[in-house]
Structure 1
Amino acid sequence: MRLAGNTILVTGGGSGIGAGLAAALHRAGNQVVIAGRRQDALESVARRHPGMAYLPLDQSDAGAVRGFADEVVRRHPRLNVLINNAGIMRTEDLRAPDPDVIGDVISTNLLGPLLLTAHLLPALRRRPSAAVVNVTSSLAFVPKAGLPTYCATKAAMHSYTESLRFQLRDSSIRVIEIPPPRVYTDATAGDDYGVGVEGFVRDVVSLLASRPEADEVVVDAATLLRFAERRGDYQKVYAAVNYEESKGTQ
């Protein structure tokens, strides 16, 4: 994926990783469009970066996704990069499950990006160089038991990304996965499992610049979980990730 001269849609662009990626890609010389539920947050980000555009989107609403896709292509016909970043995280106790939480997380984290990708693929296929970038999670590979539906949606997005990449292998569209570690909005926070937003975005952009043909962008802080099974220490890492939950059940 080239890092300049694109028209890029970033979902979940009003805060966190989405806002950070949008700002970095805007500075790199791209036309960036951010989308999200909260118009005030989108406006705040766009004001800080003159020339950045925004459109509201409730990704959990399937009907809204279709209308949004039509609108963003109408307003930005040169759109050639989709970054599926929007998502929500909810803790759950599956001994007393809440169907509303399950539905909200699945519709936002899984159905929403799948539908948006489906609606935008015809436009992306018309561009000589395009990309779909799916922001998943390192928890797709070593789940946190207190976030069961969240982790399941991210694992599903990883699987979908693999299939999408294979089916589009002979097209002009690159399919890239970014599985973040724990990302802190407080720049001073951090631990062995996480990194601040600024550091994460800086590392992602650096890796994309150095490896423009990469199918997956894994920052150092995400490698512990992402490659646990490959290294053969999955059970050890799983126990560490879920240490606090295990203490709570004793």
Structure 2
Amino acid sequence: MDITKNSTILITGATSGIGLAFAERLLAAGSTVIVCGRRQALLDEIKARHPQIITRRADVASARERVALRDWAVSEYPQLNVVINNAGIQRHVGADFAVDEPWEDTWSEIEINVGGVVHLSKLFLPHLRTVERPAIVNVTSGLSFVPRADVAVYCASKAAVHSFSVSLRHLESTRPRPDGAAAVRVIEVVPPAVNTDLGGPGLHDFGEPLDAYADSVIADLAAGKDTSYYGFSGKLASLPSSGEEWDKAFTMLNSLGK
């Protein structure tokens, strides 16, 4: 099922990086695209470059704003059939996890990366079950499978979203449905390191080129794949969950930059 064409698609965290690259390609494919982000100035810039894109300021770290986003989206765009949970942050904890910081700073990474995905999925599911070609797309990470210790909370949060996506896919595919009703597809997008500003400018300059990566994901979505890997993320996902191969990958990832 090709959800890239003639769909109405909402993308969180889409003012830059992977989210914006997806938005531009989905718009070019012929879909109606709604991009969400916290910074109005960036949304205004996107609207100036792409007048057809619909913009909405929303902070998915806030449960109240998540509810407001759902209410607005299904009211204004009842044909909405795809939600892409892309918003996420990556915070470097460094070599000492015990370094004192306000708990709110740590919690914000969990709330955005996990809470936002789970809550928005729950909020949008009742609507998505009423439309054609419905899908939830969750963006995780190759680090869901083998973590880097200096971004420990990020890795744990993405592993949680991977697990949640697997469970939600099973629940939706096996849920009793009225005759003719489509199951909501749950798709997982698993990026490797990509050359974006995730975590801060310059931290991922070594990553895969953004354009090539985004093209690959859109091709996977058009082909109807339930999981989209790219390069190293596929290798990490294919490893056994323990043993010599996993240990070697963990050691390699955690020696980068040292």
Q: Which residue pairs with 1:235 in the alignment?
A: 247
Deviation at 1:45?
A: 1.7
Q: Which residue pairs with 1:167 in the alignment?
A: 171
Which has the larger displacement, 20-29 or 37-46? 37-46
Question: Quick one: distance in 1 between partners of 2:160 and 2:7?
Answer: 28
Equivalent residue letter for 2:159: A
TM-score (norm 2): 0.88
TM-score (norm 1): 0.90
Deviation at 1:225?
A: 2.0
Question: Quick one: distance in 2 between partners of 1:101 and 1:139?
Answer: 21
Question: Quick one: distance in 1 between partners of 2:244 and 2:233?
Answer: 16
Conservation of the 8 A alpha-carbon contact between 2:142 and 2:232:
no
Q: Which residue pairs with 1:112 in the alignment?
A: 116
Q: Which residue pairs with 1:202 in the alignment?
A: 215
Conservation of the 8 A alpha-carbon contact between 1:73 and 1:79:
yes
SS of 1:146's equivalent in the other structure is helix
Q: Percent identity?
A: 36
Give the 5 Å matches for 1:61-76.
Answer: 61-76=62-77
Equivalent residue letter for 1:16: G
Q: Which residue pairs with 1:177 in the alignment?
A: 188
Is residue 146 from structure 1 mapped to residue 150 from structure 2 by the alignment? yes
Deviation at 1:244?
A: 4.2
Question: Quick one: distance in 1 between partners of 2:171 and 2:100?
Answer: 36
Question: Quick one: distance in 1 between partners of 2:6 and 2:226?
Answer: 20
Number of residues paired by the alignment? 241
Give the 5 Å matches for 1:56-135.
Answer: 56-92=57-93, 93-98=96-101, 99-135=103-139
Where do 5+ consecutive residues of structure 1 fail to align?
A: none
Question: Quick one: distance in 2 between partners of 1:20 and 1:166?
Answer: 29
Conservation of the 8 A alpha-carbon contact between 2:196 and 2:205:
no
SS of 1:29's equivalent in the other structure is coil
Conservation of the 8 A alpha-carbon contact between 1:127 and 1:172:
no
Equivalent residue letter for 1:197: L
Equivalent residue letter for 1:173: V
Equivalent residue letter for 1:140: S
Conservation of the 8 A alpha-carbon contact between 2:38 and 2:57:
yes
Q: 1:88-122 deviations in whole A, cap 9, x for unaligned?
A: 11011312253222211011111012111111111
Equivalent residue letter for 1:135: V
Conservation of the 8 A alpha-carbon contact between 2:136 and 2:187:
yes
Q: Which residue pairs with 1:218 in the alignment?
A: 229
Equivalent residue letter for 1:53: I
Give the 5 Å matches for 1:5-20.
Answer: 5-20=6-21
Conservation of the 8 A alpha-carbon contact between 2:81 and 2:135:
yes
Equivalent residue letter for 1:229: P
Q: Which residue pairs with 1:25 in the alignment?
A: 26
SS of 2:240's equivalent in the other structure is helix
Equivalent residue letter for 1:195: E
Question: Quick one: distance in 2 between partners of 1:126 and 1:109?
Answer: 27
Deviation at 1:15?
A: 0.4
Deviation at 1:46?
A: 2.5
Deviation at 1:173?
A: 1.0
